[in-house]
Structure formats: structure tokens, C-alpha cells
Amino acid sequence: MRYTGWAEHLHSEVDAIVGEYVSSGSPGLALLLARDDEILVQRGYGLADVEERVPVTAGTCFIIASVSKQFTAAAVMLLRLEGKLEYDEPISRFFPGFPSWKDRITIRHMLTHTSGIPDYLTSEFWDEATGGDFTLDDVLQRICGYEALEFTPGAHFSYSNSGYVILGRIVEVASGKTFSAFMRDRIFRPLGMRDTLVGERSTHYPGQAVGYFRREGSEEFGRAPHNLSVVGWADGNIISTVGDLYRWDQALYGEEFLPHSMLDEAFTPVNAGDPAFPRYGFGWIVHERRGVPEIWHAGSTLGYNAWLSRFPGQHALIAVLSNADRLDPHRDLVGALTELLLGDEMIPVPAEIRVGACAVEEAAGRYIPALATARQQAEVVLQAVGDSRLRVTEGSDFFPGLSLVSISEDAFRADNSSDHYMYFSRGDSSGAIERMRYCANGSVYNFVRA
């Protein structure tokens, strides 16, 4: 092992970082760190089953939620390679019974979340889902019931799980196989991902961690509901391990699985020249984390969180899978792990600048989404703290409690290890702050002052 001494140091550092989030008696996580195609850390923390005191190990399986989207996109790419579909063909060939908007939406629109199809994953859906199972046909029927789109396809970005559910059915129609069988036969088995499968039932699979949620206003965890809605569909129903995600990462460096020309397209953000668009490709977010190119995706469902970050220039990988839905890895944990793995190659964190209480007060206030979609209803309420800091109020729907420090008069960064920034823009005539853009690891959220 080239990194023997460093790996020993990394283990103790990682233990200290994870210890801030996981205790020996709580739900836990599995993680893997690799660099230059060499696994440096691969281990589990906490409990996979709290009631039975079963520990998380490096081989524990978790629902990876929206990290599944890159696999669904890869299935579409394989079918494109075989000539069984085209990215820019309308979905009407596969869904003749859908409303008239089916003629305007292409497969590419759904891959890049620019379709305008409303997201089925609303709070109302989750309220219904906790009472029983939905089938895939139920969800497709629900999506089919949307008579209108939220915007003209291609005009905006709005994260839509509905699009990836539709893509899963397209994979089935185009291939003649179930989504589960296609993924097993064309991706998981060929790549040696022996512990990865598509979840298709509302019971836990052997070796799968139980999902937990933190009770409101308490440090205690409760067992999360587990049904088909939690497992999900092609938008988030893959179950995997950190070791198998490493095998997936390695396959993307070669050309036996998919040619580089196709992967390059998947790793190219839609509307890359428009700063209002997130840096989203085909199931991946493409970003520079303090100067280091990063390709990543996160996932979250009831009782589970997942994160996968690839750093192609260093052949480095960070994979984190958790069975606690309040353990949000992209806020701090992944940032701290990235600093540990790649810190010597990253641009230094911008220094805090005291801009004065008046400037901070001017930025404080209430902001609402610029694009009011069914999913994107979260508002941000900012409170001024001293002469250089803002705080997202606890009552806000968007990162409550987050503290930010000023790095210029109209720019703030998260006061933690995450790569999150808030930029304010002023009206041309008034000079007053009118808009705010929140950039989080390549994700972009646009707000207007309320």
C-alpha cells in the first residue's frame, strides 16, 4: 500500500470527524475514502439495527435514495448506445396515454430535471405513503394526472423525481426487461457489484440497515416507516454498499462499460453558461470544490441518507451511507472528509471580512423561491448577527440554524466545512438587494426578496 502511513493517520482523523455525528449506540453510517485507485478507509460506525444492537460494518447495505439516479441515467445511456432510444425524442412513444405535454418533453429533459413535470414527492404524498404502499403504476398514474407543466420544457431547472420514475419505465419498455432485471444483468453483475440490487419490496433485505429518524425536539431516534414508497422506484430504489459504489466509480474510468464520449456528455452540465442553472448533467452534479473538480450526488429518503463524490483528477472517492435521516452529510461531514483527503490541493477557504452591521442588516430578511414550483416552496429567513454574520433562523424551511460569514459586502459563505455560498444582487435602479442565490456544491437555488 502506497499510503500505509498516511492511511493509519487518516483512520484516526476520520474516527474523530465521524464521532461528532455518530455514537456507538446510535444509528450509524458506512464510509469509504479512496485516492489514486486505492482504498484508504473503509469502515462502519454506529448501529445498523439499534434494537438488536447490530453494528454497521463496511459491508452493510443501505437504500442510496437519489444516488440511484446516476444508475438510472446509465441504463438510459446503455440503451442509447444500442440504438433503442434517443435522448432528444419525445416521451410520447413510451407513454401514449399521458397528457398532451408528453409530446414536448424529451428523455434529455428528464435526465437533466428540465422537463417541468411536477414532482410527485410532495408532503401530501409522504402523508399518504406512511399509511400504506403505492405501486409503480400508482405513481405513474399520479404523474399522468398532472394536466399542466410547471414551465416550458428546457426553460428552467426544477428537481423532479417524477422524471426519473418515468425514465425507469422507459428502460423497461425499451429493453423488454423489468428495471430490476436490467440493472442486475447490465450494470451490477458485469461490474462486480455483488451486494447491490433494486429494492422491490417493503421488507428489509439481508444485511440491510434499518432506517431511523430523530424524534422532533429530542436526541432519540425512532424506527422509520419502511414500505414501497420509502424504497422508491427508479428515482431512488437502489440498495448498495460503499464497497460496491467504489467498484462503480472504478468502472467509470475505463471504457468497457460506457465510452468516454458518452460519459463526457453525462458529466456536462445542462445550460452550463447560465449561472441560474445548477451544474447538473445526467444524474450527476458537476462542480469545483474550492478549485478541485468534483462529480457528485446526494440522496435522502425516510431513514436513510447517501452521498457519493468523485474527484477524477485525483482518482479519489468519498462514499457515505447512513441509516439516520437527520444525519445530513453534505452540511459538514463530507466537507471535513474532503478537506482531509484533498486539502493540500484545494484553494483556501475565503477569509471572513467585517463589512459592518449596516451591510449585514441590509442582507437580512425573508427570501422566497424565484421559481415557485410544487417542490421548491422552502423560504429563507436571515437574521443579522454582528458586523459580519448571517444566521438562517430556526423557523426557516431552508437549512435552519446555518451560520454564514461575510467574504465581501454581498457574499457570504457557510461557517462550516461545506462548500456553500450565498450571493446577493441589487436592482439596477434602486441599488437595493432584490435577489439572493444560494450555491451549494454546484446546486443552485434562486430567491427573490419577499
**Contacts from 399-404 at CB under 8 Å and sequence distance 24+?**
399/331, 402/331
Q: In the structure grid, which three cell numbers stand for residue 253, read together? A: 474510468
Q: Residue 400: its pLDDT value, please? A: 80
CA atoms lying within 13 Å on the CB side of residue 271: 16
Write out the H or E segment, with its range, that includes residue 244.
Answer: helix 242-251
Q: What is the DSSP secondary structure assignment for residue 98, as one 8-state letter?
A: S
Identity of residue 285 = I
pLDDT for position 344: 87
3-21 pLDDT, tens digit each: 555 667 889 999 999 998 8
CB atoms within 10 A of CB 196: 24
- Per-residue pLDDT of 202-260, as tens digits, reads 889 999 999 998 877 667 888 988 888 888 899 999 999 999 999 999 999 999 999 99
Distance CA 244, CA 250 (A): 10
- Of the candidates 308, 306, 338, the one whose C-alpha atom is nearest the C-alpha of residue 246 is 308
Give the integer Cα–Cα distance in Å for 353 and 407: 5
Q: Is the dihedral of CA 206, 28, 439, 294 positive or negative?
A: negative
| pLDDT tens per residue across span 72-85 | 999 999 999 999 99
User: In order of start, what are the domains of the chain with their CATH numbers?
Assistant: 65-345 (3.40.710.10), 357-449 (2.40.128)
Look at residues 115, 118, 112, 30 and name the one whose alpha carbon lies nearest to residue 70: 112
Distance of alpha carbon 30 from alpha carbon 304, whole angstroms: 12
Q: What is the pLDDT of residues 123-143, one digit of tens each?
A: 888 888 776 678 899 999 999
> CB count, 10 Å around CB of 17?
18
Q: What is the DSSP string of 312-357?
A: GGGTEEEEEEESBTT--TTTTHHHHHHHHHHGGGSPPPPPP----H
